[in-house]
Amino acid sequence: MNLLYFFIWSLLKVIVVTVVMLLGVAYTVLLERKLVGRIQNRWGPSRVGPFGLLQPLVDGAKSFLKEDIIPTAVYKPLYLLAPMIALGCALISIAVVPFGDPGIAVSGFRLFQISDVNIGLLVILGITSIGVYGVALAGWSSNNKYSLLGSLRSSAQLVSYELALGLSLVGVVLRAGSLNLRVIVESQASKGLLTWNIFGGLQIFAFFIYLMAAYAETNRSPFDLPEAESELTAGYHTEYSSMKFAMFFMAEYANMITVGCVATMLFLGGWTSPLGNILPTPQNIVLRSLLPIFWFVLKVFSFLFLYVWVRGTLPRFRYDQLMNFGWRYLLPLAILNIVGTSLWLAYK
């Protein structure tokens, strides 16, 4: 009976989080289209529903209903598998993210985290790094030179910037003494802003490195070289249509949300309030549950807003500039941050 109870609770959490994640992906697309529209002095989507709020639902239906074209020269097994790998890895990583107060539980089951893993940070880094296989296989299996060049660019870019991204997080792990995401968030909770890693933990350089590497990891402007339409048509997904193309599209935005969640947990205090423990904890169980989720969502939203703002502001790099920036600047800075953090912890 206990095993059945555990299975039902776990299944419910997986379903709810997956649905919320997919809705988040859909409305992140709308957020980007609206914000870029305002940056470029136009409205963005405004026709379907009030303020264009139903546009993501129409776009989703359109993706399902469009004709699915498969070119004759593709290697079909990997061609079909590639978008599944990309989207699957993007969605699985959310399983270890604590997006609310883990102290709130029902019959011993935490409501606001699917799985509390001691090496949660490594799980996220490992799963997201596998996502590059989806991009690489898509380009190779399409039997298209532009697609192949796009996938090769993406593979080199992701491998290069993953080094800087992973090393930028070492300082945070050293300070918290754990790879458990819940423990990392709780280590920043006591005084709010003053103990967040970006401010009180002297990890502002690490945050900058993480931010730059995250743009490159998610193939976003100004590092969207794998999809450079002026050079490679659409890059690695040139030969994809209908829902298979939509899966790559969804994977990109799901990765953006995951990157925002990781930044929130590691540098911005996770679900904790900017005021820390100054204000008393609400006694009402509903407020105790919703306030941490509100702070978490607000911080992730701010991170996504920054993503879109950068896209509407900065031009695309040249590929040699992209690789030089990763290897010659971000990687040495990440190593220096580790050394500096270690010395600070040793002698503070």
**Dihedral (CA of 139, 143, 144, 148) sign:** positive
Q: 10 Å Cβ neighbour count for 116?
A: 14
Q: 10 Å Cβ neighbour count for 19?
A: 10
What's residue 107's pLDDT? 65
Is there a contact between 178 and 184 (Cβ–Cβ < 8 Å)? yes
Mapped onto helix, strand or coil, the DSSP state of residue 78 is: helix
**What DSSP element (H or E) covers 106?**
strand 105-106
pLDDT tens digit sequence for 267-290 = 988 888 887 666 666 666 667 778
pLDDT tens digit sequence for 330-345 = 999 999 999 998 998 8
Tell me, what DSSP letter sits at residue 314?
Answer: P
Q: Please, which pLDDT band fits residue 235 given cuts at 50, 70 and 90?
A: confident
Counts of helices then strands in the chain (DSSP H, E)? 14, 2
pTM of the model: 0.90
Task: Summarize the confidence of residues 108-116 as an average pLDDT.
Answer: 78
- Dihedral Cα 318, 149, 325, 210, nearest 10 deg: 120
Domains held by the chain: number: 1
